[in-house]
A and B are shown apart, each in its own frame.
Chain A
Amino acid sequence: MPEESSQPQFDTGAAYQLKKPYLDSSVFLAHIKQEKILCLGGKNRYEITSRIFNDAEADKFIIYTSTVTIAEVRRIKKAKKKLTEDERKTVNVLFKKYMQHEWMYPIEVSREVAEKAQGLGATYSLTPIDSIHVASAILWECDMLLVWDKHTLLNKFPNGIIEGVRICEPYWEGLPKMIEP
């Protein structure tokens, strides 16, 4: 039985169509881990990530993320399953190459991004990395920032929207909500 996510308290964004999504590192992690946490709409996280990536591959939209994502998506040192040095490198290389797809736009942490992040961090009490993700999404005019981290980013902004970017959990587009808030 898959683990069920806690009671939804935030906008899941299920009514919105993905047009120019920005993906937080957590979304990539869920895919690599094949996370089986049940989400609104009755789909597991990894099913949702697969759908998002497949839609991007089918040219429905481009996925935006920060180059910071490449640094964040890596193995924890205390993982139970030990990997050999070669295995660890293989996973890293696989992810680095994955980020080279034409339907994936990693956004550099430019001076402009850093300056925007500084302002956001001070205004909304965000950590520098959270600020960089949000700043990147804003500056590249993404309409949504998808993140599985509801206790921090999701409730930082009024109505979950910051400068035109809606912060919400990834969702299965078009499915009715299984669990109503």
Chain B
Amino acid sequence: MVAKIHLKIQGKLGQISVDSFVSVIADSLWILHALDQRISQHPRGILKWVVAGIGEGTKINNGTAYLDIDARVKRGNEDISGRVVNGFINGLQQIENDITTPSLYSPEAMIKVRSLVRSFGRNGVDGVIFQIVEEQKEAKLTIKSEKPIQELVGVNYKTLGSIEGVIELISIHKPYRKFNIYHAITGRAIKCSFPQEIEKDVFVAAQERRRVIVSGLISYNIKGEPISVFVKKPVRFLEREEELPTIQDLLGVDKDMTGDLSTEQFIRSLRDA
């Protein structure tokens, strides 16, 4: 069954500008489309969204204008709409409640959420509520949501370091060459800008879906999550899984590694020195 979203724009009819109304819907669809691309791994996504209902007010809440959006599969046979819609709502809830970046939300999607929220309080729109009616699940964005989103999008500090992951979404459009690296542990996308010298390696890494390490100046948000990397060193390719030593290869490979010291004594000799 295809997924549906009940989108409710809060504000007073007669005050909501058409521009704001359209922007809210466009930004919301942009984020849904980004999640579709991420989950489907298809560069253009596999879903389209259709209007299933539109009107004033709703029985569920006292919103002033609503739109029912249904997903349709436009490419292939797989229906990922449930995952997309749930990822969308869960992500917004995570931003609001935990103030952490949802793993499915790319840096660009986070910027789009911020842009959506920043439009509230002007031109008649006070907020927006997204609901999955069948699951009684909802996420609400209001003017108050701007602070946590800004904290997640804004740079808190920078350090030199490295990020391990897989490269995707390369752009060599001037003036900035950039790609996203999907963090090996969190799965979050981190925006990277890179110099021309490493362009070839970046493409090889993406084409072969190799795990790599990129190093440079990393910007972190207030939660210590890396949000961008200004790559300064060559891409380091990690070995393919099948090329790595096995558990048995390592077992007993150096039985005399710590000499006369027990493991505990050796560790203490290193740390207590």
Count how many chain A residues have C-beta atoms less than 8 Å from C-beta atoms of the other chain.
Answer: 50
B162→A108 contact, CB < 8 A: yes
A17 at the interface (CB under 8 A from B): no
**Contact, CB under 8 Å: B263 / A98:** no
Other-chain residue from B253, B256, B264 in contact with A26 (beta carbon distance below 8 A): B264
Complex Cα distance, B14 from A91, in Å, reads 74
* Cβ-defined partner of A72 (8 Å) among B159, B249, B255, B270: B270
**Chain B count of residues within 8 A CB distance of the other chain:** 38
B257, A29: Cβ atoms under 8 Å?
Answer: yes
Whether the Cβ atoms of B247 and A33 lie closer than 8 Å is no
- CB neighbours (8 Å) of B256 from chain A are 33, 79-81
Q: How far is the CA of A78 from the CA of B259 in the complex (A)?
A: 6
List, in ascending order, chain B residues with CB within 8 A of A50's CB. 247, 251
Query: How far apart are A47's CB and chain B's nearest CB, in angstroms?
Result: 10
User: CA of A50 to CA of B252 in the docked complex: distance in angstroms?
Assistant: 11
Q: How far, in whole Å, are A81 and B260 apart by their CA atoms in the complex?
A: 11
* Chain B residues whose CB sits within 8 angstroms of the CB of A26 once the complex forms: 263-264, 267
Shortest A97–chain B CB gap in Å is 5
Whether B241 pairs with A101 at a CB distance below 8 angstroms is yes
Are the C-beta atoms of A30 and B263 separated by less than 8 Å? Answer: yes
Contact B157 A111 (CB under 8 A): yes
**Closest 3 A-B residue pairs measured CB to CB?**
A34-B252, A112-B224, A81-B256
User: Knowing A32-B257, A152-B268 touch, does A100 contact B238 (C-beta < 8 A)?
Assistant: yes
B60 contacts A by Cβ under 8 Å: no
Query: Which candidate, A8-16, A143-151, A156-164, A172-180, is the interface stretch facing chain B?
Result: A143-151
Scan residues 225-273 of chain B and give those whose CB is less than 8 A from a CB of chain A. 238-239, 241, 243-245, 247, 249-261, 263-264, 266-272
Do A97 and B244 touch across chains, with their CB atoms under 8 A apart? yes
- Provide a sorted-by-A list of 11 A–B residue pairs whose CB atoms are within 8 angstroms: A26-B263, A29-B267, A50-B247, A76-B269, A78-B259, A79-B259, A94-B253, A110-B159, A112-B224, A139-B224, A148-B263
**Which residue on chain A has the smallest CB distance to residue B254?**
A91
- The answer to whether A149 touches B250 (Cβ under 8 A) is no
A171 within 8 A of B: no
Contact B267 A34 (CB under 8 A): no
How many angstroms between the C-alpha atoms of A49 and B263 in the bound complex? 14
Which residues of B are found within 8 Å of A31, using beta-carbon distances? 247, 250-251
A64, closest chain B residue (CB):
B185
Residues of B within 8 A of A101 (CB): 241, 244
The answer to whether A32 and B270 have CB atoms under 8 Å apart is no
A151 to chain B, nearest CB (A): 7
The answer for the CA separation of A140 and B225 in the assembled complex, in Å, is 11
CA distance A75 to B270 in the complex (A): 11
Q: A108-B162, A127-B271 are in contact. List 8 more A-B contacts (CB 8 A).
A: A32-B250, A33-B263, A34-B255, A35-B263, A46-B251, A76-B261, A111-B157, A112-B224
- Which residue of the partner chain, among A54, A107, A112, A151, contacts B264 with CB atoms under 8 Å? A151
| Alpha-carbon separation in the docked complex, A97 to B258 (Å) | 20
Flag if A105 contacts B185 (CB, 8 Å). yes
Q: Within the complex, which residue of A30, A102, A105, A129 is in contact with B270, where a contact is CB–CB below 8 Å?
A: A129
